[in-house]
Amino acid sequence: MLTLLSSLLGFGTSFVPKVLEFWQDKSDKAQELKVMALQIEREEKMLAVKAEMMDSANDMQRDVALLQHDTATAKKASTWVHNLRSSVRPVITYLFFVLFFFVEGVAAYVILRDGGDISIIASTLWSEETSSIFAAIVSFWFGSRAIKK
């Protein structure tokens, strides 16, 4: 009986290295799959970064080409056309400020005419929206100068 038990134990333990090898192989393959998934994820991120860099480079090239085109066309134009082209933004800004002061002035007049006082005028005319618009205009004209310095 002891011989039979020893034979069975010997026969059964002969499979142990194969089972351990199977589990080790399975574990190694799972680890390799995880590493490959991480490498694929890294490559996807790198491709996204490269695409973003290429888009930025294309945008810069387009801006340079537009500036070169504007410079080339400005050389052919007369002085008054050049001055007119460069005054479009400031003139539009001046017109909007004139319109803004006119509308605010009329609103202040109506409030005073209807018996309002200065505190009502201040709270009515200088609202959150008005300060946002004013900040946007000032930032547009003077913000880039502060950044460049």
97-147 per-position pLDDT tens digit? 899 889 889 988 988 888 888 888 888 888 888 888 888 887 887 776 555
pLDDT score of 88 more than 60? yes
Last residue of a domain, one of 61, 86, 111: 86
Q: Are residues 97 and 137 in the same domain?
A: yes
d(CA 13, CA 37): 37
- Domain span at residue 144 reads 87-149
Q: Are residues 46 and 1 in the same domain?
A: yes
pLDDT band at 58 (very low <50, low <70, confident <90, very high): very high
Q: Are residues 2 and 70 in the same domain?
A: yes
Last residue of a domain, one of 86, 102, 136: 86
Q: Are residues 80 and 97 in the same domain?
A: no
Q: Are residues 12 and 81 in the same domain?
A: yes
Q: What is the reported pTM? A: 0.45
Dihedral angle sign, alpha carbons of residues 83, 88, 90, 94: positive
Q: Are residues 29 and 54 in the same domain?
A: yes
Q: Are residues 9 and 48 in the same domain?
A: yes
Which residues, 6+ apart, have CB-to-CB distance to 89 below 8 Å? none
**How many domains does the structure of the chain reveal?**
2
